Structure 1
Amino acid sequence: MRTRAALTGALAELPPISLEDVLAEAALQVRVDRKYLVPVGVFVELVNRLRDRFAVLEIDGQRTFQYESVYFDTPSHGLYRQHLQRRRYRYKVRTRTYLDSGECSFEVKLKGNRSETIKSRLPYAASDRGRLTDPARDFLAEQLRTAYGVGPVDGLQPALVTTYRRSTLTDPTAHERLTCDIDLRFSDATRSIDVLPEAVLVESKTNGRAGAADAVLRDLRVRPIQVSKYCVAAALLNPTLRANPWHRTVHSLVVAGRSGYREA
Structure 2
Amino acid sequence: MITASTGLSVAALPSIDLDELIARGSLLTRTDRKYALSTADAAMALELVDPTSTRVLEIDGVQNLGYTSVYLDSAGLDTFLLAARERRRRFKVRTRRYESNGAAFLEVKTRLREQTVKHRLPGEHLIDGRLGEAGAGFVAETLRDARVRNVAVGALTPSLRVDYRRVTLFHEPTASRVTIDTGLTWWDVRTGGWLSRPELAIIETKSAGRPAGMDRLLWSLGHRPDRISKYATALAAMHPHLPANKWRRVLRQHFR
TM beyond 0.5: yes
Separation in 2, partners of 1:94, 1:129: 15
SS at match of 1:232: helix
4+ residue stretches of structure 1 with deviation over 4 A?
126-130
Give 1:117's aligned residue.
116
Question: Which sections of structure 1, spanning at least 5 residues, go unmatched?
Answer: 256-264
- CA contact 2:25–2:170 (8 Å) conserved in 1: no
Higher helix share: 1
Cα 1:30/1:234, change in 2 over 3 Å: same
Q: Superposition RMSD on alpha carbons, in Å?
A: 2.2
Match runs of 1:106-255 below 5 Å = 106-113=106-113, 115-125=114-124, 128=127, 130-148=129-147, 150-153=149-152, 155-188=155-188, 189-254=190-255
TM-score normalised to structure 2 length = 0.91
Separation in 1, partners of 2:76, 2:117: 25
% identical equivalent positions: 35
Post-superposition Cα deviations, 1:64-90, rounded to whole Å, max 9, x if no partner, equal 111111111111111111111111101
Give 1:259's aligned residue.
none
Separation in 2, partners of 1:92, 1:27: 19
- CA contact 1:164–1:185 (8 Å) conserved in 2: yes
Give 1:20's aligned residue.
19
Q: Which moved more, 1:44-53 or 1:72-81?
A: 44-53
TM-score normalised to structure 1 length = 0.88
Question: Which sections of structure 2, spanning at least 5 residues, go unmatched?
Answer: none
Alignment of 1:76 with 2:76, yes or no, is: yes
Task: Give the drift of 1:92.
Answer: 0.3
Task: Give the drift of 1:123.
Answer: 0.8
Cα 1:230/1:149, change in 2 over 3 Å: closer
Separation in 2, partners of 1:234, 1:199: 16
Separation in 2, partners of 1:127, 1:175: 33
SS at match of 1:217: helix
Separation in 1, partners of 2:181, 2:101: 18
SS at match of 2:7: helix
Give 1:67's aligned residue.
67
Give 2:41's aligned residue.
42
Cα 1:97/1:29, change in 2 over 3 Å: same
Task: Give the drift of 1:147.
Answer: 1.6
Post-superposition Cα deviations, 1:162-200, rounded to whole Å, max 9, x if no partner, equal 111111011133111110100111111323434324342
